[in-house]
Amino acid sequence: MTAIDARLRERVHLLGELLGNTIREQYGPGFLDKIEHIRHGAKADRRDAGSEQLPSRLGQLAENELLPVARAFSQFLNLANIAEQYQLIRRREPGQAAPFEDGVLAELLGRLRQAGHSQEHLARQLARLQIELVLTAHPTEVARRTLIQKYDAIAAQLALLDHRDLQPEERQPLHGRLQRLIAEAWHTEEIRRARPTPVDEAKWGFAVIEHSLWQAVPNHLRRVDQALFEATGFRLPLEAAPVRFASWMGGDRDGNPNVTAAVTRQVLLLARWMAADLFLRDVDQLAAELSMQQASEALRAQAGDTPEPYRAVLKALRERLRETRQWAQASLAQAHTPSEAVLQHNRELVEPLQLCFQSLHDCGMGVIANGPLLDTLRRAATFGLFLVRLDIRQESARHTAALSEITEYLGLGRYADWDEEARVAFLLHELNSRRPLLPAYFKPAADTAEVLATCREVAAAPAASLGSYVISMAGAASDVLAVQLLLKEAGLQRPMRVVPLFETLADLDNAGPVIERLLLLPGYRARLHGPQEVMIGYSDSAKDAGTTAAAWAQYRAQESLVRICAAQDVELVLFHGRGGTVGRGGGPAHAAILSQPPGSVAGRFRTTEQGEMIRFKFGLPSIAEQNLNLYLAAVLEATLLPPPMPEPQWRQVMDELAADGVAAYRAVVRENPAFVDYFRQATPEQELGRLPLGSRPAKRRQGGIESLRAIPWIFGWTQTRLMLPAWLGWENALHKAAARGKGDVLRAMREQWPFFRTRIDMLEMVLAKADADIAKLYDARLVTPELQPLGEQLRDLLSQCTAAVLSLTGRARLLAHMPETLEFFNLRNTYLDPLHRLQAELLARARGAEAGQGGAVEQALLVTVAGIAAGLRNTG
């Protein structure tokens, strides 16, 4: 009996059939038969390990058939994603339980009441939550925005078809529309011809807000308000915005020379334009609807002598929004001084709306006030005039280089050569000085000029438009003071969070002492003006040490920071740099939040949401609502019902696991001289760097693995299904723990400690996606004979890791407790297997004598990259 829901299977079949119709119409029935033969060959090979039908059938393809075959399997995987995603928000039959995501908050509030939390306390805590989701660009986001919009339209069409009682005459046009949308997607080139610019990436982020979050946020807050009222009798305040959004798109210049001060300024203006435009649409609708005459004295005083006071107030706001939009548009080309009509502060947007809202309630028209007007007020609280807060990110070495040029120019020596004490003394002296550091005639080199120009943009931008200034590869107190000094020199006269990002294993271990040193420095607390924010790096710490040691270092760093900030009576905000994949700290957000150390959440939570995960989690309004519910419930639960402290014995075992894990990981990645060559032969890493996927280069600088960005590092291994960064080290750590007789302790840790349970659950999921046979076929086609034994060794380690996890969970096979997920993996493999084989062949051709084919091979290669990424639902 099948594990996949019958309705889901129906949708997948329908979408596949309509795609087949489209392919047949373009290429004829014979070509569609070839695709079916390839699909059946893939299924046969999966059933029978000795079968070789798939390579035989792929080998029969003509040269000009490679691209359309790759496109066919890639498009089916995208359609399967749509069907699977829609499954989460489908109409429920009578008696069917609502999904966990929809009821998670109400269930939690009930548990919190039973745990003794008063109604007032719960209402206050929920209203005070500060969750910020930071949208980041993704160098391996492969789907074009125009295709994403078509996929969204297909999902909407599935919703219209999701009625059992539709008459044939009603169903037929819906099927016709769905067929047209799939044909449009098929006939749209799925791969962009040129790299997106940082501004393009920012526009993509704004589009997610416009087409999904703009609707999802007020819907989500309506449900939160209702759940809170039913549990406590209190309403969510109008100004409450428990979940807000920030962005790195256009602000993240770490290793990306394409993000300049001019780009940051442009993105800030585009955000203001988009916010004004979206609120203008809302206010236009409200002005049309609120035609009532009865109004409060306060509203009449604002509206003047008019029979339609609500319209009068809203039309005045509408004119100011138009003026704001026009100013932002004009300023993109040339700086313009804003007129008095341009909205500058969020209160100028909120106050007229609140005035109308209160008047309607005062006059007995609350049912009208609680309609679209309430939704606009909720959007104003969440997005405001600046839409998202833009973070700035730069690598610490760029600040050190800029200060070195400055100190040498001033005849003080070279800042980079000074020890930490000398740096801190110099920076504190200059921060306390009333005179400028630099004369007006200082002419810096290009890199320093760009750093200073960015600081000037920060100083000039409204405070509400900016988030934090994040320093990647931070390792010392001087890294934070350096940025504060550069911002002061640029004219910044207001507080701004300067946030060290601790990424490597050594830096994570040193995070607590660095923050303690900062908090004890004279004058630092005065410049802080609020919480101390610290960013925890998942990607680079995992690349540096493997996920076993990195996860434990992240946990211990958070514990240390919580303890130090509590001792200094400073609020702490932890900013989690999580990626989409397990190898970069990704995984289910709800479980991940609940597995954080006790005291580390405390009503505040900041995390990155990256690339394709933004699309999967927030691309459709109903899906976005579910994910916002999960975030809000998890942060509230972690705040009020924190997990238990780990037992001393568990800590000891984790110390041992981490030590064994990092030793095994580095023995392969750093100490094996053949590893880098093997990685570059066995994966598409080199080709990915040349493909027009994102605005950011794949490398920070020239060099080996240490210079490679964490995202393409993960991406390459994901494409070949070895998934190495997510598991390497665990096999050694778990094996040695078992050999030391710690099996019972490990099982207790998994049962009773959310941190360890979540790590093992994510490890099991990634091992289920890994496929040693697929990885082996890449080796056979791409890797030189002398390096192939290393591939065999890595696949053996993968097998050992799987055995260790199964021993720990007591299951006969991975994900045996999730049969529907397993069956969907099997379904996807039927379409992934041909793409993997095609990709290996295309890589061989691109690297060999046939590379002169140029565009045709590269285009087909890109399509396989996109298809595999879609099929696995993870890229980097």
130-136 and 389-395 strand pairing: unpaired
3-state secondary structure of 85: helix
Identify the active-site residue in 43, 150, 203, 543.
Answer: 543
Q: Please, what sign has the CA dihedral across residues 520, 522, 525, 527?
A: negative
Q: How far apart, in Å, are the Cα atoms of 284 and each of 207, 356, 373?
A: 20, 14, 11
Chain-centroid distance, C-alpha 80: 21
CA torsion, ordered 230, 232, 235, 240, to nearest 10 deg: -120
- In sequence order, the 6+-apart residues with CB closer than 8 A to the CB of 538 are 550, 554, 576, 577, 578, 579, 584, 585, 586
Is residue 576 within a helix (H) or strand (E), and if so which, with residue range?
A: strand 572-577
Write the CA distances from 232 to 110, 217, 225, 228, 603, integer angstroms: 10, 22, 10, 6, 19
Q: Tokens in use for 787?
A: 């390096």
Contacts 24+ apart (CB under 8 A), 105-110: 105/223, 105/224, 105/227, 105/629, 105/632, 105/633, 105/636, 106/227, 106/230, 106/231, 108/633, 108/636, 108/637, 109/227, 109/228, 109/231, 109/232, 110/231
**R_g of the chain computed on alpha carbons:** 28
CA 45 to chain CA mean position, Å: 36
Secondary structure of the chain: what % helix, strand, coil (to 5)?
Answer: 65, 5, 25
What single string gives the DSSP state of each residue in 169-203? HHHHHHHHHHHHHHHHHHTS--S-SSPPPHHHHHH
Long-range interactions of 281-284: CB distance < 8 A, separation 24+: 282/372, 282/375, 282/376, 282/379, 283/314, 283/317, 283/318, 283/321, 283/376, 284/318
> Quick check: 695 and 808 in contact, CB under 8 A?
no
Torsion sign (Cα): 806, 810, 816, 817:
negative
For residue 252, list its beta bridge partners: 393
Amino acid at 359: S
Number of H helices, E strands in the chain: 40, 8
Nearest to 221 by CA among 355, 352, 105: 105
DSSP class per residue in 384-415: GGGSSEEEEEEEHHHHHHHHHHHHHHTTS--G
* 399 annotated active-site: no
776 is catalytic: no
Q: How many CB atoms lie within 10 A of CB 110?
A: 13
Taking each helix axis from N to C terminus, what angle separates 446-460 and 261-289, rounded to the nearest 10 degrees? 20
What does the chain come to in residues?
Answer: 876
> Which of 763, 761, 687, 754 is CA-nearest to residue 725?
763
Joined tokens for residue 39: 């699909």
Q: Which of 181, 182, 192, 174 is nearest to 75 (CA)?
A: 182
576 contacts 709 by C-beta, under 8 angstroms = no
Catalytic annotation, residues: 138, 543
